[in-house]
């Protein structure tokens, strides 16, 4: 069988899916949680509770601030002890609602049974409103509010809904386990989103290294027409939105453009599960599956974790940070970010905690670029990382914009192939942030 894949660039890192055989376990509810108001792309939510308030599981504690924003719910029942800025995973000070846990009492209307609800009731507008009110965001890492992606502008027509089940980042297995253990819910979530978008073609794209997930989803789709489960070649970044669209439809998202310009909407497989919960169970996004992994850990885990659980409590459950650990990453090794604060708490986008050793994080000293072109060959966006490295170091932002640095998806393929060990991703990422600032301030004027 010929598997589908994107046509430009890409790399083949060792997959290291150490936790793939670890079934999802419910992580114990912690004694205290701190829930960030900035768990989605866009403006942070505005807290609507105060110190001393009693809250239940699933109760709204933050409301959207502006168009690109989202609802935030309490993941526990208990008493609000503080509404204050705290350091998040990256060390940024953001507003959190802190809650001391008492019992586990759900807000009225939330269904907690595991029974599969197949009958999708309601107009597209009602379904969309439920998804919005449940605070569902893209759970593959981008955390873009899902209800916005499901409501494209009137002049753009969605033809395809692509469910991103690639999980191409090494080490991460949260989506794989979710697909193996909850395929029916994922397929129903996809059908709900298809109804909201008015599309007739749904494609669930699974990487070839997840045969059990592929079989489980194929079985779950047997009773429906218009949903295909397809196998993708194992190649990074297969799960990139633009790469998936290219692989499935052979359409290219224009430079600086949005996926909807190709008639495609891409949603992550965990988002699909959250949409099912939101619509069929009236259950907001209060927990997620998260992989805890690393060669230096005694156990590999896939936990269902309440949002707002301290990272330190999760690491304690696998014996604490081993002596030989050097770095904790939130996400995978390619696109994840170093955890700056172990007292920070999990968020809607927290797919993985990866613990690395000094050998795994050691950087080989950088030498000069030998113009081998490997970074250009590896770049899935058709960019020239070696050139952006030179322009970035010189602070030539006008030239960087001309060379379309804004198209960089920060995948790290360039850096992983460079024989001169140049930290291309770091330089491209910081230069891109500067160029985006310039573009935004020009747009404001
Ligand atoms: S990080 Fe950016 S420049 Fe480097 S390979 Fe990925 S898209 Fe290309
Ligand atoms: S891979 Fe490294 S050495 Fe080769 S062209 Fe790119 S930056 Fe230069």
Q: Using the predicted structure, report yes or no on whether residue 302 has a pLDDT greater than 70.
A: yes
CA–CA separation, 217 vs 204, rounded Å? Answer: 8
398 alpha carbon to ligand 2 midpoint, in Å?
A: 22
Tens digit of each residue's pLDDT (9 = 90 or more) over 58-104: 999 999 998 999 999 999 999 999 999 999 999 999 999 999 999 99
Query: pLDDT for 385-435, tens place per residue?
Result: 999 999 999 999 999 999 999 999 999 999 999 999 999 999 999 999 999
Same domain, 271 and 379: no
Give tens-digit pLDDT for 95-140: 999 999 999 999 999 999 999 999 999 999 999 999 999 999 999 8
Radius of gyration of the chain (CA): 21
Question: 259 and 131 in one domain?
Answer: yes
Domain boundary (254, 280, 306) is at: 280
Q: Do residues 263 and 405 both lie within one domain?
A: no
Whether 204 is in a domain gets the answer: yes
Ligand 2 center to 392 CA (angstroms)? 15
Distance CA 204, CA 187 (A): 9
Q: Are residues 389 and 274 in the same domain?
A: no
Cα 443 to averaged position of ligand 1 atoms, centre (Å) = 25
* CB of 166 shorter than 6 A to ligand 2: no
pTM across the whole model: 0.95
Q: What's the structural domain count of the chain?
A: 2
Condensed to tens digits (0 to 9), the pLDDT of residues 315-329 reads 999 999 888 889 999
368: Cβ below 6 Å to ligand 2? no
Report yes or no on 333 lying in a domain: no
Residues 271 and 402 in one domain: no
Q: Mean pLDDT across the chain, nearest whole number?
A: 95
Is position 206 within any domain? yes
- Chosen domain end from 280, 314, 342: 280
| CATH number (domain holding residue 141) | 3.40.50.11540
Q: Is 122 exposed, middle or buried (0-12, 13-18, 19+ CB in 10 A)?
A: middle
Q: Whose CA is nearest to atom 5 of ligand 1?
A: 379
Q: Which ligand has the nearest atom to the CA of 385? A: 1
Alpha helix ranges (H) inside 7-123: none
Cα of 115 from ligand 2 centre, angstroms:
54
Confirm if 76 and 384 have CB atoms less than 8 A apart: no
In a domain, 34, yes or no: no
Q: Whose CA is nearest to atom 1 of ligand 2?
A: 418
Q: At what angle do helices 183-197 and 174-181 cross, to 10 degrees?
A: 100
Q: How many angstroms is it from 160 CA to the middle of ligand 1?
A: 26
8 A C-beta contact, residue 41 and residue 56: no
Map residue 25 onto helix, strand or coil.
strand
Q: Are 185 and 276 a contacting pair, CB within 8 Å?
A: yes
Residue 1's pLDDT is what? 58
Residue after which a domain boundary falls, among 243, 261, 280: 280
Question: What is the predicted pLDDT for the residue at 381?
Answer: 96
CA distances in angstroms from 95 to 55, 60, 76, 91, listed in the order given: 18, 15, 18, 12
Ligand nearest to the CA of 379: 1
The answer to whether residue 366 scores a pLDDT higher than 80 is yes
Residue span of the structural domain in which 429 resides: 374-444
* Closest residue CA from atom 1 of ligand 1: 410
415 CA from centroid of ligand 1 (Å): 8
pLDDT digits (tens, 9 = 90+) for 234-284: 999 999 999 999 999 999 999 989 999 999 999 999 999 999 999 999 999
Residues 272 and 402 in one domain: no
The C-alpha angle 365, 423, 171, rounded to 5 degrees, equals 100
Best residue among 411, 416, 418, 423 to mutate for probing ligand 1's pocket (most ligand atoms within 8 Å of CB) is 411
Task: State the pLDDT at residue 323.
Answer: 87
Are 134 and 270 in a shared domain? yes
Produce one character per residue of 410-427: b if its CB has 16 or more CB atoms within 10 Å, e if not.
Answer: ebbbbbbbbebebebbeb
Distance 433 CA to ligand 2 centre (A): 22
Pocket of ligand 1 (CB under 6 A): 378-379, 381, 383, 385, 408-414, 424-425, 428
């Amino acid at each position: 069988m010929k598997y589908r894949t994107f046509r430009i660039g890409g790399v083949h890192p060792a997959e290291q899916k150490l936790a793939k055989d670890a079934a999802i376990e419910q992580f114990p509810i912690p004694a205290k949680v701190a829930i960030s108001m900035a768990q989605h792309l866009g403006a942070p939510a505005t807290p609507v509770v105060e110190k001393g308030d009693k809250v239940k599981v699933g109760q709204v504690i933050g409301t959207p601030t502006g168009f690109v924003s989202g609802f935030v719910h309490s993941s526990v029942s208990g008493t609000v002890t503080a509404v204050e800025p705290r350091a998040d995973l990256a060390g940024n000070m953001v507003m959190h609602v802190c809650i001391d846990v008492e019992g586990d009492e759900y807000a009225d209307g939330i269904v907690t049974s595991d029974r599969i609800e197949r009958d999708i009731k309601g107009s597209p507008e009602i379904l969309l409103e439920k998804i919005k009110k449940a605070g569902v965001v893209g759970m593959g890492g981008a955390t873009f509010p899902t209800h916005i992606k499901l409501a494209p502008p009137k002049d753009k027509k969605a033809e395809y809904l692509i469910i991103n089940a690639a999980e191409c980042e090494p080490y991460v297995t949260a989506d794989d386990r979710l697909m193996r253990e909850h395929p029916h819910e994922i397929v129903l979530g996809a059908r709900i989103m298809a109804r909201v978008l008015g599309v007739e073609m749904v494609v669930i794209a699974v990487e070839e290294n997840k045969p059990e997930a592929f079989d489980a989803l194929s079985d779950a789709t047997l009773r429906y027409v218009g949903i295909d489960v397809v196998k993708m070649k194992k190649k990074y970044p297969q799960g990139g939105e633009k790469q998936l669209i290219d692989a499935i439809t052979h359409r290219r998202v224009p430079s600086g453009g949005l996926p909807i310009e190709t008639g495609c909407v891409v949603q992550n497989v965990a988002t699909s599960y959250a949409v099912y919960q939101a619509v069929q169970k009236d259950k907001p996004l209060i927990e997620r599956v998260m992989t805890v992994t690393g060669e230096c850990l005694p156990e590999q885990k896939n936990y269902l974790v309440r949002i707002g659980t301290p990272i330190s409590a999760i690491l304690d459950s696998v014996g604490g940070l081993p002596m030989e650990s050097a770095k904790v990453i939130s996400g995978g090794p390619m696109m994840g970010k170093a955890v700056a604060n172990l007292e920070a708490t999990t968020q809607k986008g927290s797919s993985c905690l990866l613990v690395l050793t000094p050998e795994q994080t050691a950087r080989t000293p950088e030498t000069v670029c030998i113009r081998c072109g490997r970074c250009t060959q590896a770049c899935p966006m058709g960019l020239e990382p070696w050139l952006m490295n030179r322009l970035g170091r010189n602070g030539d932002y006008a030239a960087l914009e001309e060379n379309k640095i804004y198209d960089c998806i920060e995948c790290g393929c360039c850096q992983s192939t460079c024989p001169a060990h140049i930290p291309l991703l770091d330089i491209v990422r910081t230069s891109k942030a500067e160029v985006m600032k310039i573009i935004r301030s020009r747009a404001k004027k």
